[in-house]
Amino acid sequence: MRCGVPEQAINVEQLTDPEFRADNRRFLEEPLPGPTTALGTPGGASGLGPVGVAPS
């Protein structure tokens, strides 16, 4: 971070990469290790809360 401007989380080019998009889709549509349901489309992280998966 420089001058109070946060770094981008992803490059704009990644948004058009088919593998990047497929990975994001799997993250939302397939259950994570532990939970029995997928995240779906929570509409933002603030209302989602903990997802119950420990960082690796």
| Whether the predicted model's global pTM rises above the 0.85 cut | no
Residue 14 CA: distances (Å) to CA of 4, 17, 20, 31:
24, 5, 6, 23
Residues 5, 38: Cα–Cα separation, whole Å: 33
Which amino acid is it at 25? Answer: R
Q: Please give the average per-residue pLDDT across 35-40, as a whole number.
A: 81
Q: What is the DSSP letter of 6?
A: P
* DSSP count for the chain of H helices, then E strands: 1, 0
User: What pLDDT shows up at residue 9?
Assistant: 75
